[in-house]
Structure 1
Amino acid sequence: MSQLKQMSHNDNSAPSTPGKFKIEKSPYFNRTRWHSSLAKLTLWSFAFLAVILIFFLRSPSSSASLPTDPSRRSLRTYNWGGSAWEKRVRSSARVRSRNGMTVLVTGAAGFVGTHVASALKRRGDGVLGLDSFNDYYDPSLKRARQALLERTGVYIVEGDINDEALLRKLFEVVPFTHVMHLAAQAGVRYAMENPGSYVHSNIAGFVNLLEVCKSLNPQPAIVWASSSSVYGLNTKVPFSERDRTDQPASLYAATKKAGEEIAHTYNHIYGLSLTGLRFFTVYGPWGRPDMAYFFFTKDILKGKPIPVFEAANHGTVARDFTYIDDIVRGCLGALDTAEKSTGSGGKKKGPAQLRVFNLGNTSPVPVSELVSILERLLKVKAKRNIMRLPRNGDVQFTHANISYAQRELGYKPTTDLQTGLKKFVRWYLNYYSGGKKAVE
């Protein structure tokens, strides 16, 4: 601060332009004045450089204080390592059934991640979770899921999939045979508010995971979550894996499509076995609060109006709602049929498996019918606010062709929307204390 004051004092004492300097006739005086000016200029330069250096040294701490943007968070904010930590990791990943697999589940505290990790653990596979517990939606729900998994014996390591050192350490402690990669920044509309978080998680995070996996020996087989949103503006129904996916309607969809292309690249160059799963509107207990069925339930109980979208000319907006238990069976089927990767130490030794499957219910339901079912289950009349479908990335309809998944994975959804929502509402009312918390 004294340097800044000195700079200010010196600035005030110096003429504002070189033209105002008075030229002296004495040569000796000129040399003395020149040396004095040079010394002052040097002093000011060092002072200025010092201020700049202080600013840059302080800037990381200021940027770290921005908690709402996951793409700006430091990867060093998580504590991991040590003998006790390694013991928990090994214990969680211990296989307890014959021919069981060891699976790293990223995004394990998420909706689908929790259900998949729990199902794997129940059948005797070794399971370790990884999650950053970001605040895209209420982290307390993620912590409740974490507690649920801990009761089943699944430990969730708190960390970012962009943390290369952490990922390498996990594979050093446990030679995972499979990775179930579910960590992602979800949500179509939020991409308009925070696009960087989608690039950070869905692209950079996926690349970081693949970079680590490609160099392992042996390489794990990887199953990862794509999305039905990759079909974008496609109008051919039902959506088939062979249909075009080059017209994304949202940044979220674009990052998921980019993930599919990135997966193809790592499969082609490094021999990684990769299976992508295009989920169609997953719902059920322990779901995501940003999904329509979830916040519709909350607002209906509060007596608040809910937005029910319609397309142009009063067109129907419909979704292929898929119950979580059906999605879990599809995920396990993909893991069970995943072939081994063919690379070693970053070098491909032969062709490797590359697949993409639709996991849907094949029965699109209008959103207006979803609301009617919730009204009957909650015994409350909804206040519907009919609105035009906004241009924020939402599409008018989704409809899955699942014949490929049926043939290759034995995938067969069995839960209709009425049955699935009944289970969700029962969980919701129980979780939020008989509905009291929901209507606060």
Structure 2
Amino acid sequence: MTWYLCAWRRRSHMPEQYRALQGFRDILPDEQPYWRFVEETTAEVARIYGYRRIDTPTLEETAVFRHTSGEGTDIVEREMYSFDDRADKEGRRVNVTLRPEGTAGVVRAYLEHGMFKLPQPVKLFYMSVPMFRHEKPQAKRYREHHQFGCEAIGQEDPAIDAEIIGLLYQVYMRLGLKHIRVNINSIGDSNCRPHYVEVLKAYYQPLLSECCADCQTRFYKNPLRLLDCKNSQDQAKIAAAPKINEYLCEPCREHFAAVQRFLHLYQVPFSIDPLIVRGLDYYSRTVFEFFSGDDKTALNGGGRYDGLAEILGGQPTPAIGFGMGIERIILELKKQGIVPPAELSAQAFVVYFGKQPEVKDTAVQVVAQLRQAGIKTEMSYGDRSPKAQMKQANASGAAFAVLIREEDLANDSVAVKDLQAQGMDVESKQVQVKREDLLAYLSGDQAS
């Protein structure tokens, strides 16, 4: 019968075990200290800079991303998880999308809730927000990944550009990452960029037949993205292409010069990279990318998107922001050997001696009282022997073992053993403590 069932499973392709979907992953307990380290550090720095948290829905109308991510882009054409929602009471169906990026939803919320009426800029951050992209899973990329991001909406002052770059630089410094490189550029605005795009197309026109298939498509849909190509056959063409910073109008030149001046005041080391671009029209002026060490893969990027609010039905509204993939940063922390702060071990481990119900009841009561008082406390389960419980207590890293014995119940006391004691006086580190004094003893308030 066993042989028959196994053969049937093989023939029917019945899974013997369920697994996470490709491109999705479980974040296990041993991984959580890295996540808390990144989340707590980023949130602390964001608040220091005056940014307040916002959480937007995981689902948005597909139009929000289709209009803001751009028709013809990889995100819209190949990567979005989109589907028709159930019909409403009027029989209408809305096409919805799992959030592929964070900025569009934040700007939609800014407009919907009238935040443009508040003192500007409105400075917002989001934390560990899941993003979904149906792309081929690869190193440092998942179909579900999580981002920390900041958006400063409603101000075109170049000082806010320097602020948001400085914020991100401080995050990486607080995390302990080394060899951080910041590259910046200006891609102009609607006054000067159209002329540059025509110059760029004129340069590429006679070379187009020699370009990769993606670049041949970009030439017509997103010409600036020609400079983003990673195909080796196109690198020489990119290097010789006209540079956008040579075609900036005077206001854009002044804005970019001010950003650089303010970055010096923030003590952020940076380089100008004229090949950093964005392919969508609502991006303008400052764009930036962060790198670590010799890795050519960007840690993250950001930029100014002064035309995005208008696309979503609002008034022209200057804004700048960035998104940082948390999974990618954790990989970089591990690569550089940076270990997050250790979790606090239990302060107390309660051990009970004997199988009498009142002994175990007292142990459970002591555990509950200590936990309610804020003392991290553990105990053994399954009615293990005292020897097995003590072995577990020693392995737990707890500072103290609280021993509940039948003979201690009558005088309402417990024995407390210092599990971290060293040397010849180990035995003397076990003392008798009244139950009413246990919390003070474990908190270090006992008399010397």
Question: Could you say whether these structures have the same fold, taking a TM-score greater than 0.5 normalized by the shorter chain as the test?
Answer: no
- Give TM-score scaled by structure 2 length: 0.24
Q: Which has the higher helix share?
A: 1
Q: Which has the higher strand share?
A: 2
